[in-house]
């Protein structure tokens, strides 16, 4: 067994510019705090050259250890990640940084089919794996608060030099953007949700549109543009053998540190405005909106129940309710729910127990997911899943994969939607979905050939 070693590096300023070459090979990943582009995030994390990878498609996970043959397992993916972490866990872990090595990757929305019994109605247009996770013994971490950087990894383990990668042309979008539902069809789907709510089937359903276009090339230049224009505290770039992922998510899904749990659901959105007075009024309107506060509270209650599956009785609290967060394109209404893990539970138990996030399903969760399967014509894929890390030390931090673009298989895809409640207006909900997709829509238009 190894011991974790911490080596200080020169502070790079803009991590993406300094380490971009490391992100040009398969299984390289960048968890991006949005600094120095105006976000309040603190830590950037870069990983590459995993010692093992786990890729789940349907009921089978392929596990490949460095230099070994591919193994196939039908065991639950979360358990397989736990086993891989245990295999490579160092003997001593005492580095004062948030990530000391471990698992990094994505858990797609449709991984929920391994947890819940759901109908199979929607079309899988992207064909991406439901889980893609690498196990990394080493990482580069950049702390923008103290303006310091480190390499963390096993003692005596030299940093791997980047292997040359054949250059690719930058991303090219080869067709107009197409939506899974037109405006009228989306409004009819909202009306169907409203009937379900009136009939007592559910209280809230997150209904989404999926946008697609033909795409080829290296998406890293597009991510640099996206993160500069729309910095986010939970951004990410993942370069995988089967796709690239570009995410500027504003929403923390689940975090664990020292047994303490935090989730920060977003419900409630208004557009930003160039005029300061108009912008301030939009934020005040959101804070005062009874509809948005009710929508947010429903998800807070759902997440309190999800955390209750694995947290100590009496430890769950809501220290902040209905806070206003300002992002480059939108105002959001955000709440914070906390708890303490039970001694017999770990971060993977929490992730499984709360997956997928309530803010992007609805309440009650299982019924909302069944309605989503009925009304959305295409599977969500990565959209509304999670991206993040699970460390060897038991720590975890994950985002909700909203504002997230996937590029692979000759196509680019992203989703956008909102929570439907009893007093939702179908036309307003369609406008909100368009607003949330605006940044990615404009990015794809810019890279259209």
In a domain, 415, yes or no: yes
Range of the domain at 139: 4-154+171-446
CATH of residue 260's domain is 3.60.120.10
In a domain, 442, yes or no: yes
Predicted confidence at residue 269, as pLDDT, reads 86
How far is 317 from 433, CA to CA, in rounded Å?
A: 31
Predicted confidence at residue 160, as pLDDT, reads 54
Total count of domains within the chain: 1
In a domain, 166, yes or no: no
How far is 323 from 333, CA to CA, in rounded Å?
A: 6
In a domain, 162, yes or no: no
Predicted confidence at residue 95, as pLDDT, reads 74
In a domain, 365, yes or no: yes
Predicted confidence at residue 162, as pLDDT, reads 56
Tokens of 409: 């298989």
Residue in 133, 13, 97 with CA at minimum distance from that of residue 382: 133
What positions carry a catalytic annotation? 251, 267
Predicted confidence at residue 65, as pLDDT, reads 95
Regions in the chain scoring below 70 on pLDDT: 1, 36-40, 156-165
Predicted confidence at residue 4, as pLDDT, reads 80
pTM for this model (two decimals): 0.94
Tokens 């605006």 belong to 438
In a domain, 163, yes or no: no
Predicted confidence at residue 405, as pLDDT, reads 98
CA atoms within 13 A of residue 190's CA, in its CB half-sphere: 26
In a domain, 386, yes or no: yes
């Amino acid at each position: 067994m190894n011991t974790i070693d911490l080596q200080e590096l020169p502070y790079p300023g803009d991590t993406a510019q300094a380490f971009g070459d490391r992100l040009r090979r398969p299984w390289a990943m960048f968890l991006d705090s949005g600094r120095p582009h105006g976000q309040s995030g603190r830590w950037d994390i870069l990983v590459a050259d995993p010692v093992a990878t786990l890729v789940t498609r349907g009921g089978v996970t392929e596990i490949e250890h460095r230099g070994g043959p591919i193994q196939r397992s039908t065991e639950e993916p979360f358990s397989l990640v736990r086993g891989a972490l245990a295999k490579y866990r160092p003997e001593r872990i005492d580095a004062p940084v948030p990530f000391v090595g471990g698992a990094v990757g994505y858990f797609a929305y449709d991984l929920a089919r391994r947890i819940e019994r759901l109908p199979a109605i929607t079309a899988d247009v992207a064909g991406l794996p439901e889980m893609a996770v690498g196990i990394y013994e080493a990482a580069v971490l950049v702390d923008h608060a103290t303006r310091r950087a480190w390499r963390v990894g096993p003692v005596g383990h030299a940093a791997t030099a980047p292997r040359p990668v054949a250059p690719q042309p930058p991303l090219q979008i080869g067709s107009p953007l197409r939506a899974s539902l037109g405006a009228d069809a989306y409004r009819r789907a909202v009306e169907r949700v409203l009937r379900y709510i009136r009939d007592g089937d559910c209280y809230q359903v997150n209904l989404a549109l999926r946008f697609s276009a033909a795409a080829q090339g290296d998406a890293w230049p597009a991510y640099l543009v996206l993160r500069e224009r729309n910095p986010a505290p939970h951004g990410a770039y993942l370069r995988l053998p089967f796709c690239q992922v570009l995410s500027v998510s504003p929403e923390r899904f689940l975090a664990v540190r020292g047994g303490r749990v935090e989730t920060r659901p977003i419900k409630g959105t208004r557009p930003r405005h160039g005029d300061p007075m108009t912008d301030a009024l939009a934020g005040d309107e959101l804070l005062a909106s009874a509809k948005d506060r009710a929508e947010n509270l429903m998800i807070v209650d759902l997440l309190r129940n999800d955390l209750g599956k694995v947290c100590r009785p009496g430890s769950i609290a809501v220290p902040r309710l209905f806070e206003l967060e300002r992002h480059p394109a939108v105002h959001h209404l955000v709440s914070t729910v906390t708890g303490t893990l039970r001694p017999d539970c770990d971060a993977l138990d929490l992730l499984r127990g709360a997956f997928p996030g309530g803010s992007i399903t609805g309440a009650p969760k299982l019924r909302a997911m069944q309605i989503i399967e009925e009304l959305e014509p295409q599977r969500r894929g990565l959209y509304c899943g999670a991206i993040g890390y699970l460390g060897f030390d038991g720590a975890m931090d994950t985002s909700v994969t909203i504002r997230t673009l996937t590029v692979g298989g000759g196509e680019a895809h992203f989703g956008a939607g909102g929570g439907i409640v009893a007093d939702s207006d179908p036309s307003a909900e369609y406008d909100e979905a368009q607003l949330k997709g605006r940044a990615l829509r404009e990015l794809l238009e810019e890279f259209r050939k």
